[in-house]
Amino acid sequence: MTYLLQFCGFSDPLQLFYLQQPIATSGGNGLGLVFGGFRPFQLDDLLAWALETAHRRDWDGEAIQRTVLDVWLERADLIRQWQLRLREEPGDRRLVACLGTQHDWEQRCEALLQA
């Protein structure tokens, strides 16, 4: 299975809470994309969150770990920019990351287009 990890930008806790709520297309099963907020934004925290998510969702932990490490290495320059910008944000703001399967991403996009 393929997992996709994206960094979405900055958010306050309330907006992050809204992002974490299941969308209608998930059928109320609580599945779909998983959003997490990070401050500071470090590999160890991101990896721990992703592996915890994998465990809760019964996803392939090794594939999740590979995805996170690959994204971190491929986007090192962008991640450094996110980290620097996060320092300038108010203390309650977090960098939002989103993780899901290809199917989760497709469902989320379809739901947003139908809204």
pTM: 0.86
Strand partners, 98: 6, 35
Q: Angle at the Cα of 31 (from 29 to 34), degrees rounded to 5? A: 150
Domain ranges of the chain: 3-24+34-108
CB atoms within 10 A of CB 64: 22
Query: Which pLDDT tens digits describe the chain residue by residue (115 residues)?
Result: 899 999 999 999 999 999 888 754 444 455 789 999 999 999 999 999 999 999 999 999 999 999 999 999 999 999 999 999 999 999 999 999 999 999 888 888 887 788 6
Nearest Cα to Cα of residue 32 among 46, 41, 22, 17: 22
- What is the 3 state secondary structure string of 1-58? CCEEEEEEEEECHHHHHHHHCCCHHHCCCCCCCEEEEECCCCHHHHHHHHHHHHHHHC
